[in-house]
Structure 1
Amino acid sequence: MADIRYRVEIDSAHDHHFQLTLTIAAPAAEQHISLPAWIPGSYLLREFARHLSGLSASQGSRQLELEQLDKATWRVACSGRSALVLRYRVYAFDPSVRAAFLDAQRGFFNGSSLCLRVHGREDQPHVLELGRLPEGWQVATAMPQQADGSYRAADYDELLDHPFELGHFWQGRFLAGGAEHELVVSGAMPSFDGERLLADTQRICEAQIQFWHGAAAKRRSPVPFQRYVFFLNTVDEGYGGLEHRASTALLSPRRDLPRQGQSESSDGYVRLLGLISHEYFHTWNVKRLKPANYVRLDYAQENYTELLWFFEGFTSYYDELILVRAGLIDEARYLKLLSSTLSGVLATPGRKVQSLAQASFDAWIKYYRQDENSPNSSISYYGKGALLALALDLSLRLRHADGEAATSLDELMRGLWLRHAVGEGASGGISEADILGLLAEIGGPALAQQLVEWVHGNEDLPLPPLFERMGVQLRADKASLAQRLGLRLNDSAGSLLIKQVLAGSPAATAGLCAGDEVLACNGWRLRRLDEAVLTLAPGEFQLRLLVARDQRIVELQADLPASSAPGGAAVGASSTPVQLCLADKAPARALSLRRAWLAG
């Protein structure tokens, strides 16, 4: 019998409670226990202990007193070495991928929401067993199962890295890289085409295994796991993913699933494939290659790093690029997706305020706590990090055109993998110096220094000339009135409620504020903001806006702006989207470079 053993039971599905029993063989005289405050991969203190209740402790027939030391830590004085038994309930009604959920149709949990940490015993094996489940419910997890039906993790870290899906779900399997992959889909409607999603997921996995392992991908088992599980929960509204060492939890609108009898790929379905690609790429880049100080995590507090631009941003670059290389989208569609990322970054004034290194470090207080001022004060390490990866990749590829040895970002990623995650004693931990050192070797010291400036500075990346040399054109796209004014709106139910006003924009100059509701323009009631231009006579450019602000009616005047130029030079004054497309006439060398980039 394992020294640390959890029993997870359904206490009451209708009021969303799990019942936990934790048995600790030979406890310490003063045994400390705690529940994590965050879950790796989601950089925010979520205080999971707020959902724990009814904690009690006993040894044999004797009840023991628990002393709470802080928000998530307890101490219990034990007598002798007989087993300590802790019992408690956990409220589980978070439908996201980060916590725990339970109702009459489905159960899901991450160990960080349910499993107390036994201080001093973290490196010992941990066993988890499930109590009786409702009739017909299935169980899915990547945690190894033992002959007695329980599940065994080598240590506490591994215990937290294997979520569980409970209930009725669709399942499919395939082999890739010599390992079994399982796709588990919950909440899908009867029209769901599971076989298509399974086949497309397999193509993503095969392309990524080829990316990371090259020639070794043809061997029996090059991948760093024996079995991998995709957990996909489909809902009416919701989106997200969270990576684990041998699985990922995904959340997507069920309308984005492929439907039987339909062969086209909707934008929603492509987005879902991109999410699957993103989280699977994390199997290598963040779960095994990781910030050096993440080799051993502290679950009680923030774990800071300046490297999320690499681990999340570079992953965001490859997630959609892999779709092209796997043949799931064509080049034109990929450039459309890339255009969206570029437009989003250029429409964010905060890119001139916060560097990527700062954005990474501040993820705990900024990225996961967005407010009305966020686009003016911060930048996404996902979006701009992806563009940084793009700029670095194209710069490396263009070296050959400049008479130097050809290389690519692919080579940098594989090189980091081989140096830091493979071989005896490899921890996977890397620093910025490790990235720069290898980049200097394959791309030269000047490019390594350029990367430092891109990461720690806040200037725009030099993408337009890079695109041009790759046979890709950058054009201004048609902007909505909200984009031209520098507004972000909630326009549901016919109400034009302002969410955010971009710094330096015409809307900011006019005095519009987050929380204002736009009612009318030039004497005309508005249901859609773009209708405001219809209230202008030829030659007029002034919008006389009537807005509701804290129950008061306010009149403001805004000048109708012209669209800004491609490249975003005027962003901060307006936010014109951009469009990338294949150049009509490009030199043969540019076409060759572009094919090599997109084909891998």
Structure 2
Amino acid sequence: MATKSPSRRAAATPAAVAAPGVHYRVECADLHARLFEVTLTIDRPAAEQQLTLPVWIPGSYLVREFAKNLQGLQASQGRRKAPVLTQLDKCSWRVECTAGQPLVLRYKVCAYDNSVRTAWLDAERGFFNGTSLCLRVEGQTDAPHALEIVAPAASALPEGAAPWSCATALPPLKTDRHGFGRYLAADYDELADSPVELGAFWSGEFEAGGVPHRFVVAGAAASFDGDRLLADTKAICEAEMRFWHGDKVGKRGGPKPPIDRYVFMLNAVDDGYGGLEHRHSTALICNRRDLPQLGMKKSADGYVTLLGLISHEYFHTWNVKRLRPAEFARYDYGRENYTRLLWFFEGFTSYYDDLLLRRAELIDDAAYLRLVNKTINQVQQTPGRQVQSVADASFDAWVKYYRQDEQTPNGTVSYYTKGALVALCLDLKLRAEGRGTLDDAMRHLWNASGGGPVSEADIAAALEAAGGRSYAAELAAWVHATAELPLSELLRLHGVATLDDPSQPAQTLGLRVAESGGSVQVKVVLRGGAAEKAGFAAGDEWIGIELPAAGRKPAQGWRIGRLDDLALYLGAGKRCTALVARDRKLVKLPLVLPTGVTTWRLLAQDMGRVSKWLAPVAIAAAKA
């Protein structure tokens, strides 16, 4: 696979950053055992130097206990007697040493999580976040930190394997042509916020808004069209820069974006999806089949999903990495950091990720409305939307959204999807009233805050500045309560009708199932549905149905291999006995199929009003 080598600039320590006093050396100690080895040198330690490893990574709101993967921690200080090393709690240590004399700590980290959140290492690829590998030196977290990344020995790689390269958004101090060497972070926060990709990955570059961007892809197949991915990603980046800063962004005399470099890191796997935002980069994971393929004429649904993910994480460059909850002005890496504003920072980003695909002309109006339709139905089919407000769901992310189980849809709502619909409603409301748009409110918030921490009061003030009135009532009803959103009414004002279509079998029954190999496994039983009334439970295997005798027809039993079989065997009937296996026992459940269960379908009835909402006016507004 052809690789476009990144251009190399002269590496030098930025003038505004002092020489680092904390140094990390990261080596691939054992590819097969999946072990990184870290050597941490502290030039001027305290007499009782404390060290901690984060328990979570910003952007992913779950305590993940990264210290569970750390092993063999040792301390030394010259030829003196080994310093006394004491573990204080699950993620903290104290070293009793001579103050002001270089202190060296060595340890290994097991890297087996092939996600964007922690660390991974094998014979084909390496990846890590600083929160997983780099101990925090308490008392020196605001000082510059140096990171040296060492290439694995050629003998450690599989026979015939291509040499590895290294990609990160950290500024280089001294690196070789493959990117291995020393990098500089202004402080621990920047180190923690700069993931590192290692391996024989594909790499390409483009410029957007005067800013160099790099895209690296690991695990792609031979059919991968890298040029297509670069072109489409560039269109997204340019659309988002115009959104925030106008058409003159990056041009002579125009506004400057808040970044001077950016790196996309994409891991293509057989089955996976997700992303994690950072200030100058993002880590992504997608299905290998969803990458653009050579000769592909029309964008497949999977590729559009990938572009939406790219758009989402890049939008976070502004909305959550700079604009951010006031509670995140300074992260506490040792515990949960609570906020009720994820409906804005994740939800509004989820609204704009697909909308900006439309504005970048990567999808058309019809494709965009299908994406909105999907989001609406996801929320409508979540009973938890009537139980918990989206503000409370934001606060509870640590124990609910990131710890989902069979009752999650019944007790909470996604701040991604419900938050996106709140943004949709506010945008349509603002446009209908004719004073401004949600775009205007977002830019006002950016300018008024200086791109820094904000509160809900700041968000409310930005909406009022855009619309000329208070939107406190809408925020109270849509964000802090569980009332249904006025989606149908607002969409109609912008030329989109909402029609009722017959629901699919799972929605009709109030189930979420997994169908495989002729087996129907119940994963979720939705509150108030026919399946719950019949007595279904998560974990049931639905084996078959029994039909009662009717007229001359005797009672019959049928094996169920998928939910679509119900219509085949029931015909016009609405009653049967479901046979399920539960705890190795056969259980009979009386099932009554409901009538009138529908799903929404959006229909563009006035393309003039639809286009006015989706593209021309929004782009023109960015010029103001």
Which residue identity does 1:332 align to in structure 2? Answer: A
Q: CA deviation digits over 1:55-79, x for unaligned, max 9?
A: 0111112312211111000001112
Q: How does 1:424-443 map to 2 (within 5 A)?
A: 428-443=452-467
Judge conservation of contact 2:263–2:281 (CA < 8 Å) in 1.
Answer: yes
Task: Report the counterpart of residue 474 of structure 2 in structure 1.
Answer: 450
SS in structure 2 at match of 1:146: strand
**1:208 Cα shift?**
0.3
Choose from 159, 172, 181 the match for 1:145: 172
The 2-side partners of 1:489 and 1:377 are apart by: 18
Q: CA deviation digits over 1:309-367, x for unaligned, max 9?
A: 00000000000000100000010011111111000000000000000110000000000
Q: CA deviation digits over 1:151-203, x for unaligned, max 9?
A: 00000000111111011111111110110000100000011000001100000
Judge conservation of contact 1:524–1:535 (CA < 8 Å) in 2.
Answer: yes
The 2-side partners of 1:295 and 1:25 are apart by: 28
The 2-side partners of 1:597 and 1:491 are apart by: 45
The 2-side partners of 1:238 and 1:213 are apart by: 33
Choose from 64, 69, 77 the match for 1:59: 77
Task: Report the counterpart of residue 293 of structure 2 in structure 1.
Answer: 259
Choose from 599, 602, 619 the match for 1:580: 602
Which residue identity does 1:555 align to in structure 2? Answer: K
SS in structure 1 at match of 2:372: helix
Q: How does 1:321-470 map to 2 (within 5 A)?
A: 321-400=355-434, 405=435, 407-422=436-451, 428-470=452-494
Choose from 62, 67, 85 the match for 2:104: 85
Choose from 93, 101, 110 the match for 2:129: 110
The 1-side partners of 2:571 and 2:274 are apart by: 45
The 1-side partners of 2:319 and 2:609 are apart by: 32
Which residue identity does 1:578 align to in structure 2? Answer: W
Taking structure 1 as reference, are residues 326 and 518 closer, same or farther at Cα in structure 2, changes over 3 Å only?
same
Judge conservation of contact 1:172–1:184 (CA < 8 Å) in 2.
Answer: yes
Judge conservation of contact 2:243–2:619 (CA < 8 Å) in 1.
Answer: no
Task: Report the counterpart of residue 3 of structure 1 in structure 2.
Answer: 21
Task: Report the counterpart of residue 238 of structure 2 in structure 1.
Answer: 206
The 1-side partners of 2:357 and 2:609 are apart by: 24
Which residue identity does 1:506 align to in structure 2? Answer: A
Q: Which moved more, 1:50-59 or 1:513-522?
A: 513-522
Taking structure 1 as reference, are residues 218 and 55 closer, same or farther at Cα in structure 2, changes over 3 Å only?
closer
Choose from 465, 473, 488 the match for 2:512: 488
Taking structure 1 as reference, are residues 194 and 592 closer, same or farther at Cα in structure 2, changes over 3 Å only?
closer
Taking structure 1 as reference, are residues 311 and 590 closer, same or farther at Cα in structure 2, changes over 3 Å only?
closer
Q: CA deviation digits over 1:412-434, x for unaligned, max 9?
A: 11111111135xxxxx0000011
Judge conservation of contact 2:358–2:615 (CA < 8 Å) in 1.
Answer: no
Asked if 1:73 is matched to 2:92, the reply is yes
Which residue identity does 1:141 align to in structure 2? Answer: T
**1:494 Cα shift?**
1.9
Taking structure 1 as reference, are residues 592 and 327 closer, same or farther at Cα in structure 2, changes over 3 Å only?
closer
**1:481 Cα shift?**
1.2
Task: Report the counterpart of residue 15 of structure 2 in structure 1.
Answer: none
Q: CA deviation digits over 1:60-102, x for unaligned, max 9?
A: 1231221111100000111242111000000001100000000
**1:521 Cα shift?**
1.4
Which residue identity does 1:138 align to in structure 2? Answer: S
Runs of 4 or more, structure 1, over 6 Å off, are: none
Identity %: 55
Task: Report the counterpart of residue 155 of structure 1 in structure 2.
Answer: 187
The 2-side partners of 1:209 and 1:563 are apart by: 46
The 1-side partners of 2:187 and 2:404 are apart by: 35
Judge conservation of contact 1:324–1:599 (CA < 8 Å) in 2.
Answer: no
Which residue identity does 2:71 align to in structure 1? Answer: S
Choose from 552, 566, 569 the match for 2:585: 552
Task: Report the counterpart of residue 42 of structure 1 in structure 2.
Answer: 60
Choose from 475, 496, 503 the match for 1:479: 503
The 1-side partners of 2:612 and 2:249 are apart by: 26
The 1-side partners of 2:449 and 2:26 are apart by: 37
The 2-side partners of 1:302 and 1:37 are apart by: 9
SS in structure 2 at match of 1:548: strand
Taking structure 1 as reference, are residues 597 and 383 closer, same or farther at Cα in structure 2, changes over 3 Å only?
farther
Asked if 1:98 is matched to 2:117, the reply is yes
The 1-side partners of 2:370 and 2:28 are apart by: 46
Judge conservation of contact 1:486–1:506 (CA < 8 Å) in 2.
Answer: yes
The 2-side partners of 1:445 and 1:211 are apart by: 23
The 2-side partners of 1:528 and 1:597 are apart by: 46
Judge conservation of contact 2:34–2:112 (CA < 8 Å) in 1.
Answer: yes
**1:475 Cα shift?**
1.3
**1:211 Cα shift?**
0.2
Judge conservation of contact 2:358–2:614 (CA < 8 Å) in 1.
Answer: no
Q: CA deviation digits over 1:554-576, x for unaligned, max 9?
A: 11111111233xxxxxxxxxxx3
Q: CA deviation digits over 1:495-553, x for unaligned, max 9?
A: 11100011111111111111111100121001111111222254x21022111111110
Judge conservation of contact 2:336–2:398 (CA < 8 Å) in 1.
Answer: yes
Which residue identity does 1:510 align to in structure 2? Answer: A
Task: Report the counterpart of residue 165 of structure 1 in structure 2.
Answer: 197
Q: Which moved more, 1:489-498 or 1:176-185?
A: 489-498
The 1-side partners of 2:617 and 2:392 are apart by: 30
Judge conservation of contact 1:16–1:92 (CA < 8 Å) in 2.
Answer: yes
Judge conservation of contact 1:137–1:167 (CA < 8 Å) in 2.
Answer: yes
Taking structure 1 as reference, are residues 535 and 272 closer, same or farther at Cα in structure 2, changes over 3 Å only?
same
Which residue identity does 2:187 align to in structure 1? Answer: D
The 1-side partners of 2:310 and 2:589 are apart by: 46
| Residues paired across the two proteins, number | 576
Judge conservation of contact 1:231–1:248 (CA < 8 Å) in 2.
Answer: yes
Taking structure 1 as reference, are residues 589 and 320 closer, same or farther at Cα in structure 2, changes over 3 Å only?
closer
**1:246 Cα shift?**
0.4
Judge conservation of contact 1:34–1:72 (CA < 8 Å) in 2.
Answer: yes
RMSD: 1.5
Q: Which moved more, 1:273-282 or 1:62-71?
A: 62-71
The 2-side partners of 1:123 and 1:599 are apart by: 40
The 2-side partners of 1:560 and 1:434 are apart by: 48
Q: TM-score if structure 2 supplies the norm length?
A: 0.90
**1:219 Cα shift?**
2.1
Taking structure 1 as reference, are residues 34 and 591 closer, same or farther at Cα in structure 2, changes over 3 Å only?
closer
The 1-side partners of 2:20 and 2:29 are apart by: 24
Judge conservation of contact 1:469–1:590 (CA < 8 Å) in 2.
Answer: no
**1:386 Cα shift?**
0.2
**1:589 Cα shift?**
5.8
Which residue identity does 1:18 align to in structure 2? Answer: F
Instruction: Give structure 2 stretches of 5+ with no counterpart.
Output: 1-18, 155-162, 176-180, 547-556
Judge conservation of contact 1:372–1:514 (CA < 8 Å) in 2.
Answer: yes
The 1-side partners of 2:520 and 2:336 are apart by: 38
Taking structure 1 as reference, are residues 2 and 446 closer, same or farther at Cα in structure 2, changes over 3 Å only?
closer
Q: TM-score if structure 1 supplies the norm length?
A: 0.94
SS in structure 2 at match of 1:237: coil
The 2-side partners of 1:514 and 1:411 are apart by: 45
Asked if 1:196 is matched to 2:225, the reply is no
Asked if 1:122 is matched to 2:141, the reply is yes
SS in structure 2 at match of 1:285: coil
**1:482 Cα shift?**
1.2
**1:453 Cα shift?**
2.3
**1:581 Cα shift?**
2.1
Which residue identity does 2:219 align to in structure 1? Answer: G
